[in-house]
């Protein structure tokens, strides 16, 4: 598939809408892994149905199905209050995303230039940034079909790529691999990256934020993402429709 046909941004929007789950110089860095493990895990909703995390393939499929089932159940409430999408992402998706590991990978080569305090402040903010980002693209969900590739053996592996294909009616399908990592302590799998047509989501985020970290420091990026995370979720189509309606009224007036 020719990536330029849709553009990198549109590819990732389509992928995140389809499944909503989230490598670089430190992709396998033991230092990043160790530091990430020292950040306290945030509590999750205890009433949420458990997804099998002992199998990376079942984990990805289960998290996706669970999320879209809730999305369907609360569709009317979401239309009335789009910010409810943030709650769905927090409760249904984030337990299966290793956001701490992802956060340290985004910091990348600047890891040694940051303090423990700065990293501990960054991780939960990065988590909420992911929540807000995923919730926003969720507004574009339009019942896309996802085909999951057959399960392969993952014995003795710590990182597995779960391959899927996003069915895009009238367009080329999009191949996407979810990078899933095994927590050797808990024996549970969590997603940490998504690669679409050879493009890594984490690489994109690192490229976007890395230069800012270098120029202004991690605390600045933490505050930047904190601001972005507090923005309201907006249905773009609805916003465009309202703008068009207002413009017509002004022209008629």
Q: Please report the pLDDT score of residue 2 as a whole number.
A: 33
pLDDT at 124 over 80: yes
Q: CA dihedral in degrees (74, 79, 83, 85; nearest 10)?
A: 40
Q: What's the whole-number mean pLDDT along residues 49-65?
A: 90
Please check the confidence at residue 30 and state whether its pLDDT lies above 60: no
CA atoms within 13 A on the CB side of 111: 22
Average pLDDT, integer, range 163-170: 85
Name the class of domain 3-252.
alpha beta
Per-residue pLDDT for 167 more than 60? yes
**DSSP output for 120-167:** HHHHHHHHHHHHHHHHHHHTT----EEEEPPP---TT-SEEEEEEEEE
What was the pLDDT predicted at 49?
Answer: 60
**At residue 1, does pLDDT exceed 80?**
no
Domain positions in the chain are 3-252
The number of CA neighbours under 13 Å toward the Cβ of 11 is: 23
Please list the residues that pair with 196 across neighbouring strands: 176, 199
Please say if the pLDDT value at position 48 is more than 50: yes
Minimal CA–CA distance to 230: which of 99, 137, 103, 129? 129
Q: For residues 173 and 21, what is the distance between their CA atoms, to the nearest angstrom?
A: 18
Distances (CA, A) of 160 to 59, 79, 203: 12, 36, 18
Span 178-203, average pLDDT: 90
Interval 127-140: pLDDT, tens: 999 899 888 867 86
| 184/182 Cα distance (integer angstroms) | 6
Residue 45 is predicted with a pLDDT of 44
Q: Which two tokens stand for residue 141?
A: 């969900």
List, in sequence order, every residue forming a beta bridge with 199; answer none if it has no partner: 196
**CA-CA distance, 98 to 129, in Å (whole number)?**
14
Token pair 């690192």 in the structure block, residue? 206
Q: According to the model, what pLDDT value does residue 238 have?
A: 58
Three-state SS string over 46-113 comes to CCCCCCCCCCHHHHHHHHHHHHHHHHHHCHHHHHHCCCHHHHHHHHHHHHHECHHHHHHHHHHHHHHH
Tokens of 230: 């507090």
Q: What is the pLDDT of residue 36?
A: 56
Residue 113 has pLDDT above 60, yes or no: yes
Residue range 216-239, pLDDT digits in tens:
999 999 999 999 999 999 987 654
Instruction: Name the token pair of 61.
Output: 């499929």
């Amino acid at each position: 598939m020719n990536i330029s046909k849709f553009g990198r941004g549109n590819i990732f929007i389509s992928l995140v809408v389809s499944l909503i789950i989230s490598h670089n110089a430190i992709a396998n860095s033991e230092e990043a892994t160790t530091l990430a493990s020292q950040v306290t895990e945030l509590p999750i909703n205890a009433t949420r149905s458990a997804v099998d995390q002992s199998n990376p393939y079942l984990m990805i499929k289960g998290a996706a199905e669970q999320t879209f089932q809730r999305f369907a159940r609360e569709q009317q409430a979401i239309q009335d209050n789009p910010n409810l999408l943030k709650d769905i992402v927090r409760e249904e998706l984030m337990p299966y995303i290793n956001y701490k590991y992802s956060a340290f990978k985004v910091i990348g080569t600047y890891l040694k230039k940051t303090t423990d305090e700065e990293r501990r402040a960054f991780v939960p903010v990065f988590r909420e940034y992911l929540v807000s980002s995923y919730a926003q693209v969720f507004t574009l969900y339009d019942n896309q079909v996802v085909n999951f590739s057959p399960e392969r053996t993952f014995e003795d592996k710590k990182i597995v790529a779960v391959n899927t294909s996003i069915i895009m009616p009238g367009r080329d399908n999009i191949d996407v691999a979810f990078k899933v990592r095994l927590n050797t302590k808990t024996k549970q799998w969590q997603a940490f990256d998504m690669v679409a047509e050879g493009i890594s989501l984490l690489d994109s985020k690192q490229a976007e934020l890395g230069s800012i970290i270098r120029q202004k420091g991690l605390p600045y990026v933490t505050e930047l993402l904190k601001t972005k995370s507090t923005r309201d979720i907006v249905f773009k189509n609805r916003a465009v429709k309202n703008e068009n309606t207002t413009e017509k009224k002004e022209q008629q007036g």
